[in-house]
Structure formats: C-alpha cells, structure tokens
Structure 1
Amino acid sequence: MNVLKFGGSSVANANTIENVITIIKNQSKKKPLYVVVSAMGGITDLLLLAGKEASENNENYKNTLAEIEKRHLDAVKTLIPVVSQSAVISKVKSELNALESLCEGVFLLSELSEKTAAVISSFGELLSSYIITEAAKVKGLDIELKDSRDIIIKHVNSKTAIDYTETNSRIKDFAKENNHQVCLFPGFVARTQDGEPTTLGRGGSDFTAAILAAAIDADELQIWTDVSGMYTANPKLVKQAKPVDHISYQEAMELSHFGAKVIYPPTIHPVLEKDIPILIKNTFKPKDKGTLITRTVSDRKKPVTGISHIDDISIISLEGSGMVGIPGFSKRLFEALFLENINVILITQASSEHSICLAIEALDAEKAKTVLDNTFEFEISKHKLEPVKIENSNAIVALVGDNMYHHQGLSGKMFSTLGKNNVNIRAIAQGASEKNISVVIEKKDIKKALNTLHERFFEVKTKQLNLFVTGVGNVGSKLLEQLEQQKKYLKDKLRLKIRVVGLSNSRKMVFDENGINLDSWEDVLKKGKKANALQFFEQAKEMNLRNSIFVDNTANPDIAKIYKNYLAESMAVVTCNKIACADEYSNYEELQDLSRKFNASFLYETNVGAGLPIIDTLNNLIASGDNIHKIQAVLSGSLNFVFNNYKEGTSFYDIVKQAQQEGYTEPDPKIDLSGVDVARKILILARESGKVMELDNIENDSFLPQECLNTASVKDFFESLKKYENHFSDILSEADKKDCRLKYVAQYENEKAKVGLQHIPSDHPFYNLEGSDNIVLFYTDRYPEQPLIVKGAGAGADVTASGIFADIIRIGKK
C-alpha cells in the first residue's frame, strides 16, 4: 500500500482537484491507497484571518467567511453533477454554519484562545477532504472518508508530540476494518488524549501522511506538491536550480530545516525508522521524475546536494569576561530560552569563551533580549557581561550534502565565492558530521548568495556576468553589438553568460534583471527613466547581482568620480574613460586600493591603446621582476591618422574633421590635438610603472596656436583650424625638408615624461606607422637595446569596444 499526500496548491480549486482525482484513480488500479489532503490553497490563512478579525471586533470577518464559503461552493458546483449537489452543498453549508457560530462567539468575547484557533483552522481540511471524496465517488472510485481526529492522538501538553502507542493502535484497527481501495483523510487535524480537537501545526498534513505510512508499513510515501521535487536551491530565486533525483533522509531533513518547504522535518522521522521511501512529485507534471528520499544514496559524485536558506533571522550576541571558564553558563542561557519557547537555529562560540552568538527567528528577538538580560542581570550589573545585542535583517544560507564529509576545501570555496561578491559573513556553523555548512549573512544578500553558490557548486562552469553599461555612442553601441554577436561563442567555448542588466546614455537609463534584449536596446532605452549617474549606481547596488561589472564608455568626468562607489560594493569597473586614472594621484591610488580591498577588478586597458595590450604587457613586465628604463610611444590614433593623411594639397581642417567623423577622436577633438589625451596616457603608463606623478608634471609641447587652445566650443575650434592653416602647412613643410614624418610622441624616461610633435627619420620604428596605429617601445633591464614593441590599431570604435570586451572577459575568466 502507498500513502499519497496532496498539498494546498494541489487542491486549490476544482481544476486542480480534477488532476488529483485522476492521479489517485490511476494509482489505485495498481494497489490500495491512503490519501491525505490539505485545505484548499490559501484557505487556512483565511480561516486564521477570520478568527483574528473576529477577536478584534472587526466585522470584516463576515466577508472573509463569505469568501471561504464561495470558494468551497464553487468547487462543489464544478465537481459534482447538479443532480447530486444538494446533499453535498447541504453538508458543506452545515460545516460553514458551525464555523460562523465559532467566529460569532469569538467576536462577542473579543478573545481567540489557542484551542478555538485550532478548531477554526481545522475546517479547511475537513471541508476539502469531504468535497474531494464526493467528487472521487462521482468518478467511480471505491473511496471512503475517514476523520483523522479519530485515529491520530497527541499528548495533552505538547504542540507536536504524538501518542504513538494509541495512534498506531487506532490506525491498525481501522486498517483491519477498511475494505475500500482508497481511503481519504483530512491532514493537519488530530485530537488530544482527553478528546479535545487540535492540529499538528506547520506541515501538519505531511506529518499526518507520515504517521499513517509508518503505522501501516507502507511501501512508499508520496508527497504531491507544485514543484517537481526538492531542488538544488529555491527555484524562485535561482533560475538555474534543478530537481535532485535522489537524496538521503539526512539531507532531506537538513534542507527542509533550512527552508526547503517541499517537505517538513517532522514528516521524515516516522518513515525514517521504518525505512519507507518518500517520493516528492509534481501534481501538475505527474510525468516528471521527482525526488526519491531513502536512507542512503550511493551513486552521487557531487559533494554538495543542495543550498537552502532561512529568511528573517536575528543574531543574539553575548560578550564578556564573565563567561570565560564558568561552568553552567550555557545551561542557564539555553534553559532561559527554552522556558520562553524560543527556538535556537544556529550557535557559534569563540574558543576563548568570551562571546557566544545565537541565530533565532526575528519575531523572537526582543523577547530573547528581555529574557537573557533578566537572566544575567547580576553579571551585567557587575560589568562582567555586556547587555545582549540584537542584529536584525539577517538570513542563514546552508550548503548540505552527505558527500561533504572529509571533502577538503568546501568551506574555503564557499567563503571565497561569497567574499568575491561582497557578501559579508556574520557567523559560521559546521557540525562534526560535515553534512551542513551554515553561514549568517545580511538578508538583502540572499538572492546574490544563493545564485553565486549555485553557480560555483552546481552549474557546468558557466559563469554569469551582469553588466551595467553607461555610454552607448560610437564605442558603446559597438560593444553591445559585439556582445550580442559573440553570445553563443562565449557560452559554448568560454562558459560565460553575459547579460546587460543596466543601460544608460546621457538622457535615459533602463534596468532589467533578466537582461536587456540587445537586438532592440535602442527602443528599450527610449522608454527608460531620466538618466542620473548616481541613481544608476544606486539601482545597480539595490539589484545586488552577483558578478556585477560597471562599464563606462564615456569621457564624462562626473561618471569617473563615482568609480569608487562601485568598487566599494565589490562591483568590477571596466572603462575606456581616462579621466579617473589621469586624475590626481591620490584618486588613482584610492581606486587601486579599493580594487584590492574589495576584490573588485578595475580594468582600463583601453585608456592607453584602445584594443592593444599595452597596460597588460607593462604590468606583466613589472610583475615578473623587470625594471622600466624608458617608454617611447605614439599613443594617439587620432593624431597619427591626422599627420599620416595631412599632405601637401590637403587642408588640416578637413583631415581633422574626417578623423572626428570616422570615430578616431574624442567628441571634442581639441582634447586629442592639444596633447592632453596623450599626456593622460603616458601619465597612466608612468603610474603603472610605479612613478608618483601628476598631469601637471608632464611637459606638453603643443603644436596648436594659443588661440586654438583657448576656443570655447567644438565649432569654434574647427573654425580656428581654418584660420591657422598656414601655421599647420609650415609645420608639414619643415618635416618634409628634413625627409621626416610628423609623429606626436610621448616619452617617459628618468622619471620624467613629455609629449609633443616630433620629426621622425626614416630609420626610426615610428616612421612607417600607418593609419591610426599606435606603437609603444618598452626599454627595460631585459630589453635594453632592442625594445619590446607593442603595435597595432590604436583608435576607432570597433577596436576600443573590443578592448573593453576583452577586459570584461578577463574578469569572467577569473
């Protein structure tokens, strides 16, 4: 014989009840069944609400009762043919009238006792079990309804303790008398030893089914619910969570204790003693395999079976020298909490015995503080103990698995994974059995923690990156195009899943935790809210997603100022905006320190050479012990483009205009032509080499007339170029006379840096530098005469976007 239990979601309405009856009918053809049902989904909450409203003299309880009546009568009218409805409706209304009388009494007395609340809450199961039985009879099932209160007996002075001797005797007596193929029981309800009606508490219907299964030595206990088994994590919070095919009783108890609400811990105990398998099945997807729970599982390879959590936890802390070496202290502590019926979920104590930390349900926090402050009033008054401290808004996350036993490094992986995502661990607990590692974290970090740990322990090395991108001009739009284009390759080859979850330009910003569709991002952005750099950060912080990366594709100084906000929240920063790293050295140093302190990558390869690995090469030289003597470089793709194309017969204005239109220059070309952009680049290389240097320390030999430098707008700047055409043609003529080419060169040597236009002879490595290419010569201990050369495209939206893309991938591969 099998015992089947159907939860509230499985019997929520007439349609779901039809599914349940079909499942019962199909299984009853194979063997006799005991079936336990919960109240219709949400009815128990409505019943308790009606009782509460009545006790507060709130006449709205009548409306709540009317809703309860409507739901049950609607089910009857759908499930039972009209010719058979009269008797069923009469019985249902009789029960509802009794319920109404109880609530009227509560209303008149303005008091809701524990006993009355139990009676009121029991009506859900009594009504659903009767309706389902009558509907099953209509379908031709050989079925009988048995009142669980006649057979399940609780001890008088206990909330959950069952009188198993009496209960098992009654169940066995009933089994001998029962000759029906299916017997249906209301879950949750019971009686005390003195005959008073009561309930089995939270998860009571599961408990009813387990008690029945153990008493009759059932072949299997099936728990039918609205999910396809126990998952590796809560599927509502972790989309990648998957059902676990087979787990042990111990693992099921650990997971259920820590919030996996598919099954409740008391359910497991009666069947565990009899080695009766438990099968978790989905009422709405009966063909799904579900989860089988048995004593042992022999074929699993992964050490971690599941990740679970408990919301709304408070930490209670006691500290002081009065605890050290004092026998009986813990006894007094736990006894005081026990007497107030306060459950301790997690305990951790320093080996010095100077402090002890307890995790309890948040609703018990103030009561626990009052109790413990009173218990240790003497020690507190003598300053041997500090008054009890409460920390609210916490949660517990637990790794669970039988195979965790003696599996080295699991704790380290767990803590480092959380740490990398700025999830602070407040307390830690691990039993000697090593089947559970639990940590207390802030409640706001639950979703990020679960997803991060699930990615680390369960997913096929696929890492999800969440990008917050600001700037969608030339570079930004190319980056989004490349991200969409490479999506499949990244997932298949690099095991990276990259989502843009935040997007902003100077006017609008938009967010989508599930990822913005990059095929239509322009239309999505138009519908966004007004852009604000600080609000963009605050939203990214509030979303609190794992592996978050802020990507700045702008040249905006205001955005550069808030990089530190992102880094301090352990969000990586990738930028082509040079302003932050070329700002005051103290700011540059602060960003580097924040990056190290919060383990948040700060990558800006594109600050110097667009897509070229210039900074990376320099860092690798230094990290390997080399010393930098001199750096010579052509670092402006725009200036190189301009002077490569400026020839006799052309206009300097036209060439600069062309460079701007082709995306080689900054939005304001004066930044490039003034040498400021190149100065920033050599400054960054000098700083990366270890030199403390400011932008003002760099000698800038500008070729622009002062009037061009003093212009107030881009339009005025271009007009000034026309005015000084003769000046630029003279510069060109002078170079031609010397058979040299013009290159704007940056140099760092002897801890000094300078930038300026130079005449480059034909035998120099810079001479044949074409188009918008960049080149860098590194002279070091290892490369004293023949420098290490990095050369390639140094400007353009495509190559800059690819450089940013490369930095994002570097973070993903960490």
Structure 2
Amino acid sequence: MHNKEIEENTSFTNTSKRQKYHRKMKVIKIGGGCLKGIKTIRHISRLIPSYGKGHILVVSALYGVTDILINGIDKALKDEELILPHLEIILKLHLSVATHLMESAECVQGYKRELADTVKLLERYYYGLNFTGELTPKMADAISCLGERFSAQLLAWTLRSYGLNCGYMFPQEMPLYTDGKFGDATVDLEATGKALQDSLLPYLAAHDMVFVPGFYGVSQKGEITTFGRGGSDYSAAAIAAAADAEVLEIWKDVDGFMTADPKFVPQAEFIHCLSYEECAELSYFGATILHPRTVEPVRQRGIEIVIKNTMRPEARGTVITDSSGQSAKIIKSITYTEDIAILKVHASGVGYRPGILSIVSGAITDAALNIKSVVATQTCISFLLSKKDLDPAFAALERIQPRPYRLLEREDELVLLAIVGEGLSSSMGVAARCFSAISGEDINVEMISFGPSKAALYFLLHRDKLYQGVHALHQTFFAAAQQA
C-alpha cells in the first residue's frame, strides 16, 4: 500500500474513511464495583465469553486494590520493614482470586509468573520511595496504576482457562498518548488513533478479545500519567474514540441513571436516554455512574455510551447520545454532591477593579487546586471548591502581598443540589418552580447559578437540608407530572 493510502486509512481526523481494522467493535469498561469479591468476579468472567468476543475490554483494578497500593506508599515512606508484608497482601489477594476462577493449573501458573514480575516492579518503587523519602507526582502515578495491570492480566488468563484466545495490552505498549500531566492527564486522541492502527487493532484482530488496563496512559516521553481517581471510564472513552468503536459500554451493577438517588427517593424513575451534555452535567454535579470526563472523547466522534447492568445484561440501560430530546417535564434528573465548599473573598468594587479576579484565582490554581465554579458580585468573589481544597486555597490567598481583599470567609457545611435537563435554560418558569419547592420546605438557598450551562441549574443549601431539598424537587417535577 502506498504511503498516501496508509495515511488516508489510518488518520484519526479523517472521519469520512473507515479505519483499516475497523469492524463493529465495542469498547467495554468493567469497573471496580464489578470486580468486588470472588462471586461477583466469577459472574463477570462468565458474562465475557457471550458479550465480549471481538471487543476491547478496559478494566479497573479489583475493588479496593488502588487504596491498598496508595496505603503502601505511606508504609514505604515510614519503614522499609513494612514493604514486603504489604506486597504479600497484594500477591495473596490476586492469587486467591486466580485459583478460584481459573479452570487450568497451567493458566494459574502463567498468571502467577506475570503477577510476580509486576509485584517486583512495585517492590522497586516502594524501596525507591523509602530510600529517597519523597513521593513525586511521577512516582505516585506509576504506583497507583498497577492495580489495573494486575486486573487485566488476571481476566485474560481466566478467559484463557475457559478456552478463549485472549490477550492483553498495556497503555504504554499501544501507546495511549497523553499530554504528560501527572494525576490529571488528557489523552492525545489524534496521536493515539494513529498508534492504535499499528498496535491494538491488529492485535485484537488476532484474538477473541483484548483486555486493557484503564486509568492511565503515557506521555510522549513514555512516562506513566493517570487520569485521576475513577479515570478508567475516561480512558475507555478515549480508546473508543481513537479506535473508532461503534459503542462504549460501561458495565455497572445498576441499569443506568435515575431521576434521583433511589436511596433518597425510592420512587425515582429510570432514565432511558440522556444527551452528552446532560450526562456530563449529572456526572460533574455528583451522579457517580460515570466519571465526569467520560463524555469528552466520544462526543467528538458521535459514539454512543450505553450503561449495562451486569446483573441484567439483556436490559438496554441508559443510552447517552448527541441529543436525547427535551423531556415533557424539562428536568431529567436531580443530583447532588456533598463535596463542596465556598471560599468567599470580600473586597470593595470587585467589578470595577481590573485584575483582582485574576490575582486571587491565579493564587488558587498556582497551588494546584481546582476551582469548580466562580460567582462574583460587586463586593464578593465566591469560589466553589472541593472540601479538601478549602484550607489550602485559604492559605494560598493569605500569602498574597499586598492583599487585594479585606476579608476571607470559609463555608463547608453545604451541599450542592442540581437539576439537569436539555432545554432547561430556555424554558420559562423552571427556576421559579425550583425556588417555590425549596422555599415551601423553609430551606434557605445559600447561592444559585443559572445560565452558564444550557442544561443545568444548581444551588447550595445547608447540608442538613439535603434530604428535604431532593424530595421537594422530585415531588415538584416528577410526582406532579405523574398525577397530571
């Protein structure tokens, strides 16, 4: 094949061409919640032969393993005598699962050899930490992603023991290229798409299925970079986009999104379809079905996301696509997060003083802290932050000299409540109905934001009013619609 033909067939950006190895292929993401306990993992391994053939399966670490790896960092920094016993815990945990699942002693031994090699790598990392006494972002990423490698190897060997021709490929072998930012990397889709033509896709063509560890990729320098906790959803979406998959399936222990948290609202309804924007807003504002960044890569290629319940694999699940259509109720779902705090910067004439917003927000971001949102008035700038970032952000602003403000104020006894729905911003009366529902419960609204998103409205309440707030809104938008 001539070079020009190769470029046309392998270019990620040329959407009019079908990729060289393209077929009706899925990317299936299996999360840690589906890999919890031998009984559940066995159930998943029995589903894979029926639903996974011909597809790429992106896997999380076994449930709890990432926390064990991170806990090992503290032990390694504290005392080198703690390292080997900790490694033994990790080794025994995975070997116990392997011996219960695998139907071939030969496969158990094969996995045991590969597991030992990966644990040896982890051992070197831990002893290196103990020697230097310092944890760098680079080392934190290199250690925290190893659980996904253990998991991919475990499932590949388990399916081999069932007689399937299964392979696995690590992100550094593909490569799954990132921008190189430790702890919060972004996939380079164009570079990855080209790389997959020579690696993952032909490898898949030679196997029944391929397992890929989620959660991390590599920079152009070859350095391991993770996507943040829960980032395996995002890496699966990136691989789906780069490989031009037909669909991205996310395997969970639920059918999909609901109109509210069923723990709070037992009568919450199942949502059949969401738009990319609705899904992104729900995920960002607290719904834990998907990582907030999952939508980014697949949205570019128009690839559907489908939530699949591993307990009911035949069920359709929530489908996430370009447009879900406007609901008659306008609101699709009510979500919330308790991980919210406000840092208020009080100053006179904020709107008329050039640069003050830049100075204070720059101090927060320079401290490597994420600002969730900003609301400003003439006398106050309010930064919405994660609870864990509140004190560091406060300290960062106190270090500014000369101080461009007169007072700093912290609030952390809050929750963020959000309503999400396509067309929300252009529908008259929605905000009024929200306020009416909330005020009817004698709940004070601390702050509101309506307008930056076309599909979301959020407000802050005191945290002891969360239950009342969710119920009041669900009653207003859903129970009322059912009675109509």
**Does the alignment reach a TM-score above 0.5?**
yes
- Matched with 1:261 is 288
Q: Which of the residues 100, 121, 146 maps onto 2:169? A: 146
1:9 partnered with 2:29 = no
Q: Which of the residues 225, 233, 249 maps onto 1:222? A: 249
1:289 partnered with 2:316 = yes
- Matched with 1:360 is 385
Partner secondary structure for residue 164 of structure 2: coil
Partner secondary structure for residue 126 of structure 2: helix
* Aligned-residue offset at 1:152: 0.7
Q: Which amino acid aligns with 2:164?
A: L
* Aligned-residue offset at 1:176: 3.5
What pairs up with 1:68-107 in 2 under 5 angstroms?
A: 68-81=90-103, 83-84=105-106, 85-107=108-130
Q: 1:59 to 1:329 in 2, by over 3 A?
A: same
Q: 1:454 to 1:67 in 2, by over 3 A?
A: farther
1:22 partnered with 2:49 = no
* Aligned-residue offset at 1:20: 2.3
1:155 partnered with 2:182 = no
354-363 vs 71-80, which moves further: 354-363
* Aligned-residue offset at 1:234: 2.4
Q: 1:129 to 1:416 in 2, by over 3 A?
A: same
* Aligned-residue offset at 1:354: 2.1
Distance in 1 between residues matched to 2:188 and 2:298, nearest whole Å: 16
What TM-score results when the alignment is normalised by the length of structure 2? Answer: 0.88
Partner secondary structure for residue 113 of structure 2: helix
Deviations 1:290-329 (A, max 9, x none): 1100001137322101111121322111223242422333
Partner secondary structure for residue 344 of structure 2: strand
* Aligned-residue offset at 1:378: 4.1
* Aligned-residue offset at 1:345: 1.6
* Aligned-residue offset at 1:215: 1.2
Partner secondary structure for residue 340 of structure 2: strand
Distance in 2 between residues matched to 1:278 and 1:432, nearest whole Å: 25
- The count of corresponding residues between Structure 1 and Structure 2 is 455
Deviations 1:655-680 (A, max 9, x none): xxxxxxxxxxxxxxxxxxxxxxxxxx
Partner secondary structure for residue 412 of structure 2: strand
Q: 1:378 to 1:117 in 2, by over 3 A?
A: closer
Distance in 2 between residues matched to 1:56 and 1:313, nearest whole Å: 32
Q: Which of the residues 128, 133, 146 maps onto 1:123? A: 146
Q: 1:285 to 1:460 in 2, by over 3 A?
A: farther
- Matched with 1:316 is 343
**Is contact 2:171-2:212 (8 Å) kept?**
yes
* Aligned-residue offset at 1:83: 2.7
**Is contact 1:43-1:124 (8 Å) kept?**
yes
* Aligned-residue offset at 1:103: 2.1
Q: 1:387 to 1:373 in 2, by over 3 A?
A: farther
Q: Which of the residues 297, 300, 303 maps onto 2:327? A: 300
What pairs up with 1:563-578 in 2 under 5 angstroms?
A: none
1:330 partnered with 2:346 = no
* Aligned-residue offset at 1:143: 2.0
Partner secondary structure for residue 421 of structure 1: coil
Structure of higher RCO (CA pairs closer than 8 Å, 6+ residues apart): 2
- Matched with 1:372 is 397
Distance in 1 between residues matched to 2:262 and 2:402, nearest whole Å: 46
- Matched with 1:204 is 231
Q: Which amino acid aligns with 1:375?
A: I
1:421 partnered with 2:423 = no
Q: Which amino acid aligns with 2:169?
A: K
Q: Which of the residues 41, 62, 68 maps onto 1:40? A: 62
Partner secondary structure for residue 385 of structure 2: strand
- Matched with 1:51 is 73
- Matched with 2:430 is 410
Q: Which of the residues 142, 156, 163 maps onto 1:133? A: 156
Partner secondary structure for residue 294 of structure 2: helix
Partner secondary structure for residue 479 of structure 2: coil
Q: 1:461 to 1:244 in 2, by over 3 A?
A: closer
Q: 1:334 to 1:94 in 2, by over 3 A?
A: same
* Aligned-residue offset at 1:200: 2.2
Deviations 1:139-174 (A, max 9, x none): 232321111222112223463132333222111222
Q: Which amino acid aligns with 1:112?
A: L
Deviations 1:528-578 (A, max 9, x none): xxxxxxxxxxxxxxxxxxxxxxxxxxxxxxxxxxxxxxxxxxxxxxxxxxx
What TM-score results when the alignment is normalised by the length of structure 1? Answer: 0.53
- Matched with 1:278 is 305
**Is contact 2:309-2:315 (8 Å) kept?**
yes
Distance in 1 between residues matched to 2:168 and 2:39, nearest whole Å: 21
Q: Which amino acid aligns with 1:182?
A: M
Q: Which amino acid aligns with 2:268?
A: A
Q: Which of the residues 388, 391, 394 maps onto 2:411? A: 391
**Is contact 1:238-1:447 (8 Å) kept?**
no
**Is contact 1:213-1:220 (8 Å) kept?**
yes
Partner secondary structure for residue 144 of structure 1: strand
**Is contact 1:312-1:443 (8 Å) kept?**
no
Pair member with larger Rg: 1
Q: Which amino acid aligns with 2:179?
A: H
**Is contact 1:3-1:35 (8 Å) kept?**
yes
Partner secondary structure for residue 410 of structure 2: strand
- Matched with 2:18 is none
1:348 partnered with 2:372 = no
**Is contact 2:326-2:421 (8 Å) kept?**
no
Distance in 1 between residues matched to 2:329 and 2:164, nearest whole Å: 44
1:191 partnered with 2:208 = no
What pairs up with 1:466-545 in 2 under 5 angstroms?
A: none
Distance in 2 between residues matched to 1:188 and 1:320, nearest whole Å: 42
Deviations 1:443-472 (A, max 9, x none): 23223322332222223579xxxxxxxxxx
Q: Where in structure 1 are there 5+ consecutive unaligned residues?
A: 380-384, 463-493, 496-814
Partner secondary structure for residue 183 of structure 1: strand
What is the aligned-residue RMSD (CA, Å)? Answer: 2.3
Distance in 1 between residues matched to 2:95 and 2:181, nearest whole Å: 37
Partner secondary structure for residue 225 of structure 2: strand
Deviations 1:475-511 (A, max 9, x none): xxxxxxxxxxxxxxxxxxx99xxxxxxxxxxxxxxxx
Q: Which amino acid aligns with 1:455?
A: Q
* Aligned-residue offset at 1:230: 1.5
Distance in 1 between residues matched to 2:327 and 2:40, nearest whole Å: 35
Distance in 1 between residues matched to 2:288 and 2:375, nearest whole Å: 25
Distance in 1 between residues matched to 2:349 and 2:424, nearest whole Å: 37
**Is contact 2:83-2:127 (8 Å) kept?**
no
Q: Which amino acid aligns with 1:373?
A: E
Distance in 2 between residues matched to 1:441 and 1:62, nearest whole Å: 48
Distance in 1 between residues matched to 2:258 and 2:286, nearest whole Å: 12
Q: 1:397 to 1:152 in 2, by over 3 A?
A: same
- Matched with 2:134 is 111
Partner secondary structure for residue 441 of structure 1: strand
- Matched with 2:197 is 172
Q: Which amino acid aligns with 1:347?
A: V
Name the % identity.
Answer: 29
* Aligned-residue offset at 1:64: 4.2
Q: 1:143 to 1:177 in 2, by over 3 A?
A: closer
